[in-house]
Structure 1
Amino acid sequence: MNIATYTKEFSYNLRLAYPIILGMLGHTIVGIVDNIMVGKLGPTELAAVSLGNSFVFIAMSLGIGFSTAITPLAAQADGSKNIPEGRSAFHHGLYLCTILGMVLFGMIYFSKPLISFMGQPENVVELAKPYLDIVAFSLIPLIIFQGYKQFADGMSETKYAMWATILGNVINVILNYLFIYGIWIFPELGIVGAAIGTIVSRFVMLGYLHYQMKNKLKFQPFFEGFSLKKIKKEINLKIIKLGAPSAMQMFFEVALFTGAIWLSGRLGITNQAANQIALSLASFTFMFAMGLSVAATIRVGNQKGLGDYKKLHTVAFSIFLLAILLETIFAIIFIVFQEQLPALFVDTHNLKDLAANTEVIAIAAQLLLVAAVFQISDGIQVVVLGALRGLQDVKVPMYITFIAYWVVGFPISIYLGMYTSLQAVGIWIGLLAGLTTAALFLYIRFTLLTKKLIAMHPEVVEQR
């Protein structure tokens, strides 16, 4: 096949992916805004929010990772025009996401005493506890929202979740402003006000998405006949078998980057600050690959439903190629602006901290050179994971990601970061090694699977 076979798929891939990308970027930007608004209260409040969110973020990665199991099932049902199969995936997915949201809330609520043993200042811990209670409870509407979102994504309707996310983000910022600082008739609640903004916005997102989907003709058949009596153990187990490995895949990567933050903190303030800056920039560009990953799950799931494995192969490789091109552009930006981008995050006019800030910029600039390379590896591994999820192949990729990140990547980060002069750069070389290993072996896995499927189903199914 020539290159045009793949590039002609680009426009459809981008139309499918851009609402997902915008929604994810919205979350990232609001997270930054949240930190700025809480940061104005003082370093203790910011530390308390960071401590509370570290618990919630791990739980959130498990919940969101699990919910991705719904997307390939919905996409396959949509591809084969099988409404009962799609309805079953929707109802059972929502049922399991509701239970999981409550379980994750319970886990955080009852593990809350652990924060007293994490070596944090006592005043930070006391501030974090009430914040953590509210934000942990917001996991229930968030994971249920993910159930709706992943089903809508699987049906190739990606805009509804985007608008829900944008609406939720706007409400979050407004409520933060009113409740954190006590504006007009609203009480001044500090970081508890930030938690209220989070929980209200997540309930609004859930309500908006439910309303929009229920009133759209395409989704109405899937809302019919929901009953707990119709929830079947075998379908729950099918979703759990898909969802549990997907949750662990996301957990392994989130935990790897959390480990990098911990290692950087042991090297000192400037290394930790530089790591946070480079990580913020890399996370922002990673959202583009994440959007394409969901598009890969949807399109591969559709073609699996149609039984056209040659088209499936073409579609998947068009998304891989698009991800490589996008991440290469970001890599060039990181290389060209390696010193200018970190300078946006520090006050270069503050004479008191000039020496420290100059060191932070210098370290972050070096990290961006490593990030420029691992942008491409990270982009490849996440879109190939999405394509494998579309094939409902999740168990072997789970083992691949564990070995890549925790047998290859993290030990290299520890050795180069802690025991050589590379320090923070060494930690990031470990991340690069883990992501590259994952990208290589996941790609081999996908190639072998698709070759086998094409050999087993050589006939080309006529497209709709």
Structure 2
Amino acid sequence: MTNSRTLRHELARTLAIAAPLTLASLLSMGIAITDVLMMAWLGTAELAAGAAVSDFYSIVFYLGGGVIGALSALLAECRGAGREREVAGWIGQSFQLALLLTLPCALLISLSPRLLAQIGAEPAIVDAASDYAPMMALTCALLLLVRVWHQCFAAWEQTRVILGGMLLSLPLNALGNYGLMYGRWGLPEMGLAGIGLSSALCAAVLLVWLSLMAHRASWYRPVGRALLQVHRARLQKLLRLGLPIGMTSLGETGIFLLATLLIAGFGIDQLAAHTLTLRLAGVLYAVPLGLAQAATVRAGLALGAGDSGRMHRVLRVQLWLALLWGLPLALLLAGGRESLIIWLLPQAERGLPLFEIAAALLLLLAVAQPADSLATQTTGYLRGLQDTQRPMQLILVSHWLLAFPLALLLGYGAGLGAIGIWLGLGTGILLASTALLLRLRQQLKRPWVGTTLAAR
């Protein structure tokens, strides 16, 4: 097989993994948007409470789900090395870890109404949050278990199963929201708590769906026995690789949530422009995220096989995909941002502060796209090499120790407001991308064939 054929084969395998995961991420965003829109039907207090608890839930889940995120790399390595006998043990230990995480994660989410009360939220908001938070705590516990199966199907390149589950969840969530909010079809009228219960029920359906699909899969091995056996070395490795992934996700998410709080003090126009830019960034991020998960699996397979040529082919395809997404997207955003503002913010007219601020923020988002895509792909690839701790350190230093003080200096000290904050955030993305590429270069110089880079 010629080099061009092997590259085309690698590209096809990567896209076969990434495309369903990208669509599944977009469907997940669709579920979140549906929840927000239906919360607004209940009133402003319910909307505020739901948004606050959901943001807190996201922070907790990014951390907990990230800890389980090492499983796909470990399973891919087993596949590449032909060690399928180890699969059941890794899956069983991951379910044990997910079960251990459910209690602290659910407890943290359940305490979110108290946090709202402590920061002075209105009693109506705290009351609504008190009804909603327990349901989201249950949802988080179920989705941590879902996360294990998600990693398994990704590692075996069977991501259409994940997409199928999300296609099922989107209409079920909307129907469940409506029925439980208003007590339709014989269901109890629960208001905001009904939206939370609908989320929990959809998570349970998704868990059952993935469990049934796993049972039918050729790679499935019964995990019941493994669930009762504690393999300390495997559990330690899952934590050693997974905790940095969780901390990375938390760090990246946390800085943007904090940016929202900071920009809220600059006025309604700046907050609206920031919200538009952030939501658009979240949608665009679905593609690099799907590609990064594919990079983890493909790199893990090459690592397990001890095939250096395959490792470099995987890297070449991943970097080209990052640039092929990031560069055209940057040009489209930069050139079409004014039309986009008029479409998404009809109240924003040319010459008004809202329009001008949104145009500036979207330009900054456009400039950051190539670097952000490269950083995301590189992180996913390094996870496939089971290198998670140093990338975490590089990302946290870039965003929090370097970019965040710059954002404060530009936003407050220089009086640039939201534009200054985003200049700081963009600088963090550029710094992280550069540092991760240097880490990748360092790793590729090491002798790794037949072993694990992270262990060297």
What range is the shorter-chain TM-score in?
A: over 0.9
CA drift at 1:11: 2.5
d(CA) in 1 for partners of 2:319, 2:394: 18
Among 342, 353, 359, the alignment partner of 1:359 is 353
Number of corresponding residues: 450
CA drift at 1:2: 9.3
CA drift at 1:228: 4.1
Query: 2:254 is matched with which residue?
Result: 255
Deviations 1:401-425 (A, max 9, x none): 1101101111111111122232111
Query: 1:219 is matched with which residue?
Result: 219
d(CA) in 2 for partners of 1:73, 1:304: 10
Structure 2: where are the runs of 5+ without partners? 451-456
CA drift at 1:16: 1.5
Q: What is the 5 A alignment of 1:63-78?
A: 63-78=64-79
Q: Is the 1:55–1:108 contact (alpha carbons within 8 Å) kept by the matching residues of 2?
A: yes
CA drift at 1:160: 1.2
Query: 1:101 is matched with which residue?
Result: 102
Asked if 1:420 is matched to 2:419, the reply is no
CA drift at 1:14: 1.1
d(CA) in 2 for partners of 1:317, 1:412: 34
Query: 2:453 is matched with which residue?
Result: none
Deviations 1:231-275 (A, max 9, x none): 211111111111111111111101111111111111112111111
Q: TM-score, normalised by structure 1?
A: 0.92
Query: 1:267 is matched with which residue?
Result: 266
Q: What is the 5 A alignment of 1:173-252?
A: 173-216=174-217, 218-220=218-220, 222-223=221-222, 226-252=225-251
Q: Is the 1:282–1:375 contact (alpha carbons within 8 Å) kept by the matching residues of 2?
A: no
Q: Which amino acid aligns with 2:187?
A: F
Q: Is the 2:89–2:226 contact (alpha carbons within 8 Å) kept by the matching residues of 1?
A: no
d(CA) in 2 for partners of 1:155, 1:372: 34
Q: Is the 1:52–1:129 contact (alpha carbons within 8 Å) kept by the matching residues of 2?
A: no
Q: Which amino acid aligns with 1:268?
A: G
Q: Secondary structure at the match of 1:267?
A: coil
Label 1:357 to 1:140 Cα distance change in 2 as closer, same or farther (>3 A): farther
CA drift at 1:332: 2.1
Q: What is the 5 A alignment of 1:14-413?
A: 14-110=15-111, 112-216=113-217, 218-220=218-220, 222-223=221-222, 226-348=225-347, 358-413=352-407
Query: 2:454 is matched with which residue?
Result: none
Deviations 1:344-381 (A, max 9, x none): 33343xxxxx7899533332221110000112221111
Structure 1: where are the runs of 5+ without partners? 349-353, 458-464
Deviations 1:84-139 (A, max 9, x none): 22221111111101211222102332454222112322211221121011111211
Label 1:172 to 1:9 Cα distance change in 2 as closer, same or farther (>3 A): same
Q: Percent identity?
A: 28
Q: Is the 2:342–2:349 contact (alpha carbons within 8 Å) kept by the matching residues of 1?
A: no
CA drift at 1:184: 4.3
Q: Secondary structure at the match of 1:289?
A: helix
Label 1:356 to 1:194 Cα distance change in 2 as closer, same or farther (>3 A): farther
d(CA) in 2 for partners of 1:421, 1:168: 45
Q: Is the 1:72–1:390 contact (alpha carbons within 8 Å) kept by the matching residues of 2?
A: yes
Q: Secondary structure at the match of 2:225?
A: coil
Q: What is the 5 A alignment of 1:436-447?
A: 436-447=430-441
Q: TM-score, normalised by structure 2?
A: 0.93
d(CA) in 1 for partners of 2:407, 2:339: 26
Deviations 1:277-327 (A, max 9, x none): 111111101110000000000000000010012321221221121022112
Asked if 1:434 is matched to 2:428, the reply is yes
Task: Please report the RMSD computed on the Cα atoms of aligned residues, expressed in angstroms.
Answer: 2.3
